[in-house]
Amino acid sequence: MARFNTKPVSGTRDFLPLDVQRRNYVIRIVEGVYQRYGFEPLETPAMERLETLLGKYGEEGDKLIFRVMKRGEKLQRILANQPTENNLADAGLRYDLTVPLARVVAEHRNRLPRFFKRYQIQPVWRADRPAKGRYREFYQCDADIVGSRSPLVEAEVLNAAGEIFHELGFDQPEDFVMRLNHRAILRGLMEVTGVPDGLEGEALVAIDKMDKIGLEGVRRELAQRGIPAEAGEKLLGIMAEAPQDVEACLAWLQEQLAPSEVGRQAVEELIQVVHYAALGPVAPHLKVDPYLARGLSYYTGAIFEVDFPGLSGSGGGGGRYDELVGMFSNQTIPACGFSLGLERVLLVMAEREMFPDQLQGQPQVLVTQFDQERIPHSMGLAHRLREAGFRVDLYPALDRYGRQFKYADERGIRYALLLGPQEQEKGVVAVKDLVSGEQVEVPMEELEEWLAVRV
Amino acid sequence: MARFNTKPVSGTRDFLPLDVQRRNYVIRIVEGVYQRYGFEPLETPAMERLETLLGKYGEEGDKLIFRVMKRGEKLQRILANQPTENNLADAGLRYDLTVPLARVVAEHRNRLPRFFKRYQIQPVWRADRPAKGRYREFYQCDADIVGSRSPLVEAEVLNAAGEIFHELGFDQPEDFVMRLNHRAILRGLMEVTGVPDGLEGEALVAIDKMDKIGLEGVRRELAQRGIPAEAGEKLLGIMAEAPQDVEACLAWLQEQLAPSEVGRQAVEELIQVVHYAALGPVAPHLKVDPYLARGLSYYTGAIFEVDFPGLSGSGGGGGRYDELVGMFSNQTIPACGFSLGLERVLLVMAEREMFPDQLQGQPQVLVTQFDQERIPHSMGLAHRLREAGFRVDLYPALDRYGRQFKYADERGIRYALLLGPQEQEKGVVAVKDLVSGEQVEVPMEELEEWLAVRV
């Protein structure tokens, strides 16, 4: 007998119904909030031209792109004549949602409004080594505002993110922190602490690891990356002194960065962002954190990240990146966005049991079968309840009630409806509650009402 | 200056906001109906092992699979040593949703209920030559019931399909036809008309083209495919005589197929299906059509297809296929399903202007900006309306009103809200209707109410 490997491809997952329902529960909330903030949906193909993808994510990123092979004669010609990794493939799988956004902005510029507020919720693929919590296929949930340099935009994006977490159930001030920083504050801090020109990137990489390796770790890493000890100490010292309170921290930064032109401007910008954001849902969660670096080198202004106190890993993040969206348009197009860390959020919500008991999409009642002759009546009952908006399964065979109840139980359906000759004669439906085991008779004409308050 | 090709990969599409909103409008209805019929969602990875895909779709299908290349050292070893189309790739992109379903059933058997009712709405990829209406990336919307042989299942699937079309707006009896046939009726017809054993497949292929090439075409095609003229004539003759009425047609088929055991049984099955389906939404659309063959060779029982009178191309179809889902489980697992032809349905709905004016996800109002000082007030107003559930865009810059109105117009937003010093003093918001050009003042505290009846 042939044996098949029926596991999903390494690093990818099958999502069974409960998984999808939980994912959709979160995604629907995210979509709803993005829409109420004026974002509209965009979808792009899974495959992009290889040349669109290569060189956009650094050397390491290029290696992580799944390449799709050419086909037919084209492929055969290449196979016969010095095939290479690159000439065998003509497309790659989408690696993120930002490069496709940049391509779309270049391609459809004249069909898009002056400010393009789009959200995009689609899977991306990366040939990373699979590990706990790291997948080769995972969803990104991005919202970006393209076309404006106003700090208003940061405030809007931050508040949309804050509102998402509120609606997911992270609604207490201590449930999450929105850490806020600015690339030019980091740059300014290096300027005033004497980190040499050209080593700023190295220092950033070290600082970005604060969460993972702690103060001592960062100190060692700074030294290893060639940052002079004095500058390193100053940098760490200044950062350790930063006040907790948002306003106080910004005032303090203004002092520290007095000698740095870019630094002072950046603080001014953050003051505006915080001022504008103050009226929205994110306000109680904001914290200025001069440690925050965020790895991606493409950020040019404000940066931010959602953290759950006491848990590692971020719930999402984003920032301003004014030099990226224009890469295919040969111009500078300012942009600022947020990307929700869906996989992380799902994990935290599962751990904390934050999902509702009844998820959209789960069937609510099972209509059972009595005998062959009464199948049309069962079907009629099922249709009636479906018309009334209930999610109704109809048992698709003739079996004794015990098996039918067991099936309802396997599917997590609480109420089984019985419509045998006795019930028909009395004009009732017998309803078996599979949780309590109780069975009651409900008059046929009151059934919808009876169910409405229970499911 | 570098020139980039920013078009989507050949045969694939960028979906701009209105496209996505229309697609989502249809998909939400499909999902809602599937859920009310007791189906639950499944999602599988875009990539499948190459060996899972190959050999499942015929020789032609194998050629249409997008292959994903191996990576790193593994790839380099192969490149150095006789690379071939198959050894260079270890995965392929999903070609349909049925093979993944079969794999999932084999892999997760013990986690699934006895009858597995799943729907799956995901893209699939086929390296077909792109043409009008034929894409290399397109969505399939499948619902299947796995595990039961009862004709109840056909009736449920048919009614779910019928309900989808009703809710999409095809709600008159003449808006669509659900053509119904049975594989064994076709087989029986060949038996009684004398199509030789072994040529049944050839005859089926010819008959399947009736829609495209007409009666004369099929006659020629039958001859070309080696069907004896006498058998071909009998086959066509019998089919041309089939009564229009469902019950009459079934009775007539019973007579015609009297000499064929499999044929008679098939008619019995269809009689049951029609009987069970009679109470549901599909009933007024059912039509028995002994011409219907449906190309896919994997069907084993009832088959059906949705057609729009006067239009070519089908709105979806399906049937019973008892030998496919078990292919990775080494057992026979009965199944029956429906697949909506999403791209075709979208096209017909666009042509007939069946989409609502205001789609879920489109912003409803624009809050404008007056000056720097009042930005927080505009933001406050936007937040208040968002809390009330409105989809609100906030103009992300300081510009004269004319430009702000133009932007609202570009985004299809009808109402622009103005909150300047005059309005603030009077405790009102000025609302500009960009369709009529009128501007009215609405008391601040009545704004939600005023908007609720208009957007």
B6 contacts on A by Cβ (under 8 Å): 52, 103-104, 106-107, 328
**Nearest residue to A103 (alpha-carbon basis) of B5, B65, B453:** B5
Q: Provide the angle, in degrees to the nearest 10, between the axes of the packed helices B151-168 and B17-36.
A: 140
Residues for chain B: how many in total? 455
Report how far residue A344's alpha carbon sits from residue A315's, in angstroms, rounded to the nearest whole number.
6
Q: What average pLDDT score do residues B382-395 get?
A: 96
What residues have CB less than 8 Å from A222, skipping those under 6 apart? A203, A206, A207, A232, A235, A236
- Whether the predicted pLDDT of A368 surpasses 90: yes
Position A337, amino acid: G
How close does chain B come to A447, measured CA to CA in Å? 17
Q: Positive or negative CA dihedral for A72, A73, A74, A76?
A: positive
Banded pLDDT at A1 (limits 50, 70, 90): very low
pLDDT in tens, B193-237: 999 988 988 888 888 888 788 889 999 999 999 999 999 999 888
Instruction: Share the mean pLDDT of chain B.
Output: 94
Between residues A413 and A312, which one has the greater pLDDT?
A: A413
Q: Running DSSP on this structure, what letter comes out for residue B123?
A: E
Question: What ipTM score was computed for the predicted complex, to two decimals?
Answer: 0.94
What residues have CB less than 8 Å from B337, skipping those under 6 apart? B98, B142, B143, B144, B145, B157, B318, B319, B321
Banded pLDDT at A279 (limits 50, 70, 90): confident
B275 contacts on A by Cβ (under 8 Å): 376
Cite the residue boundaries of each domain of chain A with CATH code 3.40.50.800: 365-452
Per the CB < 8 Å rule, is A17 touching B125? Answer: no
Report how far residue A425's alpha carbon sits from residue A431's, in angstroms, rounded to the nearest whole number.
16
- Whether the predicted pLDDT of A2 surpasses 70: no
Cite the residue boundaries of each domain of chain A with CATH code 3.30.930.10: 17-46+94-351
pTM across the whole model: 0.94
Using alpha carbons, list the distances in angstroms from residue B413 to A105, A213, B350, B357. Answer: 21, 49, 21, 12
- Give the B window 240-269 contacts with A, CB below 8 Å: none
Banded pLDDT at A395 (limits 50, 70, 90): very high
pLDDT in tens, B229-272: 999 999 888 878 889 899 999 999 999 999 999 999 999 999 99
Report how far residue A50's alpha carbon sits from residue B363's, in angstroms, rounded to the nearest whole number.
35
Q: What average pLDDT score do residues B423-449 get?
A: 96
What residues have CB less than 8 Å from B131, skipping those under 6 apart? none
Which architecture, in CATH terms, is A17-46+94-351? 2-Layer Sandwich (3.30)
Q: Positive or negative CA dihedral for A265, A270, A275, A276?
A: positive
pLDDT in tens, B95-134: 999 999 999 999 999 999 999 999 999 999 999 998 888 8
Instruction: Share the mean pLDDT of chain A.
Output: 94
Q: What is the DSSP string of B38-66?
A: T-EE-B--SEEEHHHHTTSSHHHHHHTPP
Residue B177 has φ and ψ, to the nearest 5°, of: -115, 135
- Whether the predicted pLDDT of B3 surpasses 80: no
Residues for chain A: how many in total? 455
Task: Give SS3 for B366.
Answer: strand
* Rg of chain A in Å (alpha carbons): 28
Banded pLDDT at B310 (limits 50, 70, 90): confident
pLDDT in tens, A125-184: 999 998 888 899 999 999 999 999 999 999 999 999 999 999 999 999 999 999 999 999
**Token pair recorded at residue A167:** 């609606």
Whether domain B365-452 has CATH 3.40.50.10470 = no
- Give the B window 70-129 contacts with A, CB below 8 Å: 71-72, 75, 79, 83-85, 88-89, 91, 93, 103-104, 106-108, 111-115, 117-118, 123, 125, 127
Per the CB < 8 Å rule, is A6 touching B152? Answer: no
B375 contacts on A by Cβ (under 8 Å): 152, 276
> In degrees to the nearest 10, what's the CA dihedral of A410, B162, B142, B105?
30
Query: Could you tell me which chain B residue has the CA closest to the CA of A75?
Result: B85
A42 contacts on B by Cβ (under 8 Å): 14-17, 20
Report how far residue B317's alpha carbon sits from residue B340's, in angstroms, rounded to the nearest whole number.
7
How close does chain A come to B344, measured CA to CA in Å? 19
- Give the B window 180-219 contacts with A, CB below 8 Å: none
Q: Choosing among B6, B139, B163, which should be mutated to test the A contact, i.e. which has the most A CBs within 10 A?
A: B6
